[in-house]
Structures are given as C-alpha cells and as structure tokens.
C-alpha cells in the first residue's frame, strides 16, 4: 500500500482528490479593522486642556481591478461533419439444435434371423440349466448327509492312531536290543560257513610243467 487506497488519506494526496479523509483547504477571510474612537474623559477630572493627538486611521482600500485581457477570436474554420455510420444489428436465424440420438437402423432379414437365434438359444439354455441344478441338488444333499459319518469315523480312528504312536517307542527299543545278538550270531556263523564251503570245493589239480623246446 505504497500509494495508498482510494479512500485513504495517502491515496487522496497521490491522486490529488478530496474526500472525507482529506478536506479542501478553506480560504481564510480578510478582516478589516474597525476605526479607533477617541478616549472619553471622565467628569471628575480637572478641566485642564488635554491635548490628544488624533490617531491616524488607516483605511485599506481595495485596488482597482484591471479588466482581463480577452484574446482575439481565432478564425473559425468550417468543419464538415461526416454522418456517423449507424451499425444495424441483424438477428441471426435460429438453427434447430442438433440431435445426438442415433437414427433408427432398419432391421434387415439377417439381423432378424440373428435375433431369433439368440432368443431360441436363451430358451434352450434355461431348461438345461434347471435340469443340471435339479440333478446337482440331491448329490449335494447326499454329500452333506455323509459328512457326519465321516467325522465319526475320523473320531474313532484317532484313538487307534494314538495307540500306534505309543507302541512305536517300545518296538524301537526291542529292535535296538535284538541287533547286538543278531550281529554276534552272524559273526559266529561266518567261520563255520567258510569251512563247509572249503570242504565242499574239489581239490585243484597241479599244473603240468611245459615241454622244453629243442
């Protein structure tokens, strides 16, 4: 707001306008002083001559106004005024609004055939869907009825599985105890088996010496 606003004092000073915030300066009035009157001598004063100097009364007289100098009238040149062209507004004829609706397409024989085929397909599909639904519903009911039996079988099988899990550690212990005795029996049986094999084999014939070359 460097130059002020239209209603502010700063704005009025910059624009050179006057308003409520900036009043016009009133010209001061010229006061003419009244003539001084001679002093009145009271009666009780002695009747001696008192010389009173008359005061000079200065009366301000207005200066005679000089007649303003009127310049000589300049020669008037005739100016031909051209007639102004009057613009005549012409109203444009109203154009009918364009319709965005697509024109109706005339149905040909092919389109009629395709529509009939679609209708027949819909009619044939609906009964087949109903038949499949009718077949599927009883099967779904049977599955729902079989679920409780399956749950019972699972519940009965769980204790047996727990018993088997309990029996596994005992079986492992028995296997671990039986392994050393089995190894000992195998080690004792191997030498006897070797002896029997050696006795069963036929004696090997000695090789004849090769003939010397002459």
Question: HEC states along 132-183?
Answer: HHHHHHHHHHHHHHHHHHHHHHHHHHHHHHHHHHHHHHHHHHHHHHHHHHHH
- Angle among Cα 95, 99, 105 to the nearest 5 degrees reads 135
- Measured CA to CA, the distance from residue 86 to residue 88 in angstroms comes to 6
Residue 11 has pLDDT above 90, yes or no: yes
Q: In sequence order, what are the residues at sequence separation of 6 or more whose Cβ sits closer than 8 angstroms to the Cβ of residue 140?
A: none
Average pLDDT over residues 47-69: 68
pLDDT at 159: 80
- % residues pLDDT > 70 (the chain): 67
pLDDT at 196: 79
Among 11-15, 24-28, 160-164, top mean pLDDT goes to 11-15
Average pLDDT over residues 76-84: 68
Average pLDDT over residues 142-168: 82
pLDDT at 180: 82
pLDDT at 13: 92
* 170 Rama class: left (phi>0) / alpha (psi -120 to 50) / beta: alpha
Stronger pLDDT, 159 or 214, i.e. the higher one: 159
Stronger pLDDT, 42 or 192, i.e. the higher one: 192
The tens digit of pLDDT for each residue in 159-176 reads 878 877 877 888 888 888
Average pLDDT over residues 101-118: 70
Residue 61 has pLDDT above 70, yes or no: yes
Stronger pLDDT, 63 or 115, i.e. the higher one: 115
Residue 200 has pLDDT above 60, yes or no: yes
pLDDT at 179: 83
Stronger pLDDT, 72 or 142, i.e. the higher one: 142
DSSP state of 44: T
When the pLDDT of each residue in the chain is averaged and rounded to a whole number, the result is 76
Confidence of residue 210 (pLDDT cuts 50, 70, 90): low
């Amino acid at each position: 707001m460097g130059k002020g606003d239209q209603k502010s004092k700063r704005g009025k000073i910059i624009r050179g306008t006057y308003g409520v915030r900036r009043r016009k300066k009133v010209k001061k009035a010229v006061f003419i002083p009244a003539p001084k009157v001679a002093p009145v001598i009271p009666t009780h004063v002695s009747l001696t001559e008192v010389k009173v100097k008359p005061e000079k009364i200065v009366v301000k007289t207005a200066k005679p106004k000089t007649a303003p100098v009127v310049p000589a009238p300049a020669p008037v040149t005739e100016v031909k005024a051209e007639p102004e062209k009057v613009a005549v507004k012409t109203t444009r004829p109203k154009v009918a609004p364009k319709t965005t609706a697509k024109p109706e397409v005339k149905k040909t024989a092919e389109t009629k055939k395709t529509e009939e085929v679609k209708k027949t397909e819909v009619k044939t599909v609906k009964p087949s869907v109903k038949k499949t639904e009718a077949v599927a519903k009883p099967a779904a009911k049977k599955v729902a009825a079989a679920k409780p039996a399956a749950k019972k079988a699972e519940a009965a099988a769980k204790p047996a599985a727990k018993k088997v899990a309990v029996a596994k550690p005992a079986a492992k212990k028995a296997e671990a105890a039986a392994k050393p005795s089995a190894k000992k029996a195998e080690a004792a049986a191997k030498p006897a088996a070797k002896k029997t094999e050696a006795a069963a084999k036929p004696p090997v014939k000695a090789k004849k010496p090769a003939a010397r070359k002459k």
